[in-house]
Structure 1
Amino acid sequence: MTINKVHHLNCGTFASLLVGTLVSHVLLCETSDGLVLVDSGIGILDIESPRRLGRAALLLRPRLRREETAAYQVAALGYSTSDIRHIVATHLDYDHIGGASDFPAARVHTTAVELRTARTQRSLPDRFRYRRSHVEALTHIETYDGVGEKLLGFTGAHPINGVRDMWLVPLPGHTAGHAGVALRVGGRRWLFHAGDAFFDHHAIGPTDQPRTLRIRKVSAMEGLLAAEHNKVERNHARLRDLAHTKSASVSVFCSHDPVMLGELQRCAQGSLPGC
């Protein structure tokens, strides 16, 4: 399954009073043998029954629009939900895996650590972030563990079984089993979906930039949600290096930054110079 084209979708808007608008950046990848999603955003069942998301999610004021679900947007592009063959998850938080229920035939790929943590939910934060209805709905799952291979300066990357030119790259910090997803489009252009390894584009920008009130608020929220605080800043530094490396052209982006989503959507449409 060679990746031929990538659509950048918003599969869940949050109108947060604390940090402003947040999005749920999902990739829809067209391949030579069906479609692949990177994350799945908020699903139709979540729209119909918001309590599935939990109180913590509702505090962030999700807009819960059916037209923002991956299933709706896949259909709008002329595809069927059965065309989704794989869902590669950066992690299993409600806003990243809720939409998987809309694609029951798809195989979900995640790290072994992430699936184990989501199923056991031993800590109180785990019970807020992982929704049992979401996790229990994952019936076709493939997990990755072990040494892996080197990729883009990272070690431990795992090629996704059944999808050519896509890797799961462990980036623990936000959750214990969190990972980024690296993919090569048309055998040339690199995209790196960093999930929640950072929350705002300023995190991987110049280190001497002014810290506005919003940046400080986003940073505070990121720290509050992190499972392993000591690894968050390390991930920022590693992804900053990757985004600015001269040896390879890589677009590095996260799940919730509307600025990054907008830029990549315009780039995919050919309306942004330099893409």
Structure 2
Amino acid sequence: MTTRVHHLDCARMRPLGAVHPKVAPAVLVSHVMVVESSDRLTLVDTGFGRGDAERPERLGATGRTLRAELSYERTAHAQLGELGLSPGDVTDIVLTHLDLDHAGGIKDFPNAVVHLHEHELQAARGRPSLKEQQRYVPPQWTPAPQWRTYKPVEGGGDGWMGFDSVEIISDVVLVPLSGHTRGHCGVAVRRPDDAGWFLHAGDAIFDASEAGSSSSCPWGLRAYQHLIKMDGTAWAQNRERLRELRAGHDDIEIVASHDTAQFERLAGVSVT
């Protein structure tokens, strides 16, 4: 059973083009969840890692565009220590996807099993398109960690809340939400004391309001999402399913990786 959930920002970014709030926020976070249970310590995504801070040039043109604040202090490895947790005790990393701002910390946790969709690992290894050559940075996760891949069937089955899914460990569920990438997933985490769920939706949405009846997502972020998505049909369908999920379940918080205001509320901090 989940005993505690922490919210970390492990990739504070000030992207090029953020000239006005209606275009794009001045600051974007990369929301990492730390899930404590009686016998496991799990990360949902990792943000950037120590290797990125030491060698920012490996992030290429995409990294330069994101203008991330790369430092050891920002990494999940460092922030776990501030929480009184040992990075060596991380047993599992569950990834929404392998984009460079989500997977940079994998090698910081060598004892962890890394869980993800089979199609995501295939795409990241092969990088068959220009978009995938730009978004995936193999040095972030080579030599290979302890991968564990899954291929849950998409199509509205009877798994988690009507989504086809696979339970990774107790109270942590992988939910396919492809579109942004070929194997993009959400990660559902039961809240402590059985008080509902978090659904970390990764980059299926960039602003939490996009899962509601009306979106306040800046137009620049909306355009960027269209630019980098891999499958437009799946992307649109899964966003509609997220809207239906939110409308029908008040006890589910749908987490958008880069929504700074939502992160501030959940983490109880101010991002500047």
Residue identity in the other structure for 1:157: S
Q: Name 2:207's counterpart in structure 1.
A: 200
Q: Name 1:71's counterpart in structure 2.
A: 77
Q: Confirm whether residue 219 of structure 1 aligns to residue 192 of structure 2.
A: no
Structure 1 residues 110 and 149 mapped into 2: Cα distance closer, same or farther (>3 Å)? Answer: farther
Structure 1 residues 164-173 or 198-207, which shifts more? 198-207
Q: Name 1:13's counterpart in structure 2.
A: 12
Tell me the C-alpha RMSD between the 2 structures.
1.7
**How far apart in 2 are the matches of 1:28 and 1:180?**
15
SS in 1 for 2:104: helix
Q: Name 1:87's counterpart in structure 2.
A: 93
Is the Cα–Cα contact under 8 Å of residues 152 and 176 in structure 2 kept in the other structure? no
Q: Name 2:162's counterpart in structure 1.
A: 153
Give runs of ≥4 in structure 1 deviating > 3 Å: 146-149
Q: Confirm whether residue 136 of structure 1 aligns to residue 142 of structure 2.
A: yes
Q: Name 1:242's counterpart in structure 2.
A: 245
Instruction: Give the percent of matched residue pairs that are identical in Structure 1 and Structure 2.
Output: 40
Residue identity in the other structure for 1:138: A
Q: Confirm whether residue 173 of structure 1 aligns to residue 171 of structure 2.
A: no
Q: Name 1:253's counterpart in structure 2.
A: 255
**How far apart in 1 are the matches of 2:39 and 2:224?**
39
**How far apart in 1 are the matches of 2:4 and 2:152?**
30
List gaps (5 residues or longer) in structure 2: 18-23
Q: Name 2:264's counterpart in structure 1.
A: 262
Q: Name 2:55's counterpart in structure 1.
A: 49
**How far apart in 1 are the matches of 2:93 and 2:143?**
13
Structure 1 residues 12-21 or 101-110, which shifts more? 12-21
Residue identity in the other structure for 1:256: H
Cα distance, 1:128 vs. partner? Answer: 0.5
Is the Cα–Cα contact under 8 Å of residues 106 and 141 in structure 2 kept in the other structure? no
Structure 1 residues 5-14 or 127-136, which shifts more? 127-136
| Structure number having the greater strand percentage | 1
Using the size of structure 2 for normalisation, the TM-score is 0.90
